[in-house]
Amino acid sequence: MFKLIAIVVLAISTAGAGYFGWTQKKLGAAATEQVAELTQKVEEADKKVEATEVELAASKEMLPPLMTKAQELEAVKAAFSTGTVLKDLEAVYAKEKKGISSERQLGLAGVRLLTNGTKDPATVEAFQKALEMTDWKGQQKVICAAQNALAAAGEKVKVMSECAPEAPAGKEEKKNDAKVAPAEKADVKDDKKGDKKGDKKEAHGPADTHAAHWEYEGAMGPENWGKEFPICGKGKSQAPLNIKGPFEKVRFSVAPDYKQGQLKIVNNGHTIQVNVPNGSKIRIDGKPYDLVQFHFHRPSEEHIDGKPSVMVVHFVHKNMEGELAVLAVMLREGNENPGIKTLWTHAPKAAGPEVIPDGVMFNPVNLLPKEMDFFHYDGSLTTPPCTEKVKFYILKTQVNISKEQVTDFPFKMNARPIQPANGRPIYTN
Ligand SMILES: [Zn+2]
């Protein structure tokens, strides 16, 4: 039956069961909590009947729908917890020659999440990344595909009205009422730890609950990313590239319009990343893209004429259509960089949640050079899931960072090796 689910998922749309599962999981977690809360309320109320008769009635009325939600969650969990669906999907996608769409990536990441549980930070992170890569329409497609597939396979899953043939556009509300509850509670009873660093990976049991974990070295290093994330291995437009001529000329420019905002900084176990509040933009050939986040690699992932720089900053932008554009600023060893000084002061040394230092403002423009001349090529995310159709703009002018600041960066090496160009042109303005 699991195979059936996987096949139906593939047949109905281009997706897997990801976002739906995740949303339901969160909904389910919230529902389970509310059920527990209400049950407690009912019990308490039972003790002092006179006083709370009305409240009790209301509570009892609310119980059945919540119970239904909790049961739906069980059905979803049961369908995925064995890992068979994940294996089937991975097998099918591994055969794809051209790489898979962001929707499929999202589906795959979601199935992985449902299989591995939410305790593995790499799995959760990969899912969130896939989610970020997919626009709302794509997400809805994934949700519908999953719901229809599970329903077709005989699971007790409600299919959203938006998934009916002449679907009116469902909006954000669906997401918002998925209150983020401690997702762990709704977890499959798998005992996986999936801790980022240090502790050894456990042997993978026959139940095949392998975590989608990745690193920059060793068995989980870049040469092996493709095993868990097919595009990383099979993609034909992967990044980074070695930048060397001959170049093709383009006539447009890139024009940043970054704004100062509250600093939000995170050590996600792979890099230091600054999450940027709304309002910062860049115009590329006149088209606006929002700056979403920026992060660092050491050494630079991009090489120029075969040589890396000591570090690079990647400014990640997304436009209305969900297309990604990365502006890369190479850092060379020189004077201390005051912008980076602020960032390093607040950057957590170890992986953990986002930090929002009280009243600390930052303007990303502080990390840009004045000259915006660039090299450009079509690439991919340089971390799993390595999704393609990411436009890269590498500034020709480099920016200083001091030797001490380089050594203070908590990652000794977090750069993906150079990828084959496969005939892709490199442009320059
Ligand atoms: Zn990067």
Residue-wise pLDDT tens digits, 140-159: 677 777 766 666 666 666 66
pLDDT of 311 above 60: yes
Q: What's the pLDDT score for residue 116?
A: 75
Q: Is residue 228 domain-resident?
A: no
Are residue 201 and residue 302 in the same domain, yes or no?
no
Q: Are residues 184 and 43 in the same domain?
A: yes
- Structural domain total, the chain: 2
The CATH number given to whatever domain includes residue 319 is: 3.10.200.10
Q: Residue 412: is its pLDDT beyond 80?
A: yes
Domain of 329? 242-428
pLDDT in tens, 315-340: 999 999 999 999 999 999 999 999 99
How do beta strands 311-318 and 287-297 pair?
antiparallel
Q: Three-class SS of residue 85?
A: helix
Residue 315 burial (CB < 10 Å; 0-12/13-18/19+)? Answer: buried
Looking at residue 161, what is its pLDDT?
62
Report how far ligand 1's centroid is from the alpha carbon of 313 (Å).
Answer: 7
| Cα 32 to the center of its chain, rounded Å | 26
Q: How confident is the model at residue 43 (pLDDT cuts 50, 70, 90)?
A: low
As a 3-state breakdown, the chain gives helix, strand, coil percent values, each rounded to 5, of: 40, 20, 40
How many A from CA of 382 to the centre of ligand 1? Answer: 6
b (16+ CB within 10 A) / e for 3-20:
eebbbbbbebbbbbbbbb
Q: Quick one: pLDDT at residue 321? A: 92
Among the residues of 95-212, which ranges form H helices? 102-116, 121-133, 136-152, 173-176
Give yes or no: residues 187 and 305 share one domain: no
Residue 275 and residue 389 in one domain: yes
Q: What is the whole-number distance in angstroms between the Cα of residue 286 and the centre of ligand 1?
A: 24
Contact between 363 and 258 under an 8 Å Cβ cutoff? The reply is yes
Residues 296 and 177 in one domain: no
pLDDT bucket at 192, cuts 50 / 70 / 90: very low
Q: Is pLDDT above 60 for 5?
A: no
| Of residues 41 and 123, more confidently modeled | 123
Q: Report the separation in Å between the CA atom of 354 and the middle of ligand 1, taken as the mean of its atom positions.
A: 18
Q: What percent of the chain has pLDDT over 90?
A: 50
Phi, psi dihedrals of residue 374, rounded to the nearest 5°: -140, 160
Residue 408 lies in a domain: yes
Q: 324 and 180, same structural domain?
A: no
Residue 84's pLDDT is: 72
Q: Which residues are catalytic?
A: 270
Angstrom distance (rounded) from CA 340 to CA 321? 31
H helix and E strand count, the chain? 12, 16
- Can you tell me the mean pLDDT for 361-388? 97
132, 275: one domain: no
CA of 323 to the centre of ligand 1 (A): 16
Judge whether 201 lies within some domain.
yes
Residue 177 half-sphere exposure, CB side, CA atoms within 13 Å?
A: 4
Do 183 and 272 belong to one domain?
no
Question: What's the 368 CA to ligand 1 centre distance in angstroms?
Answer: 16
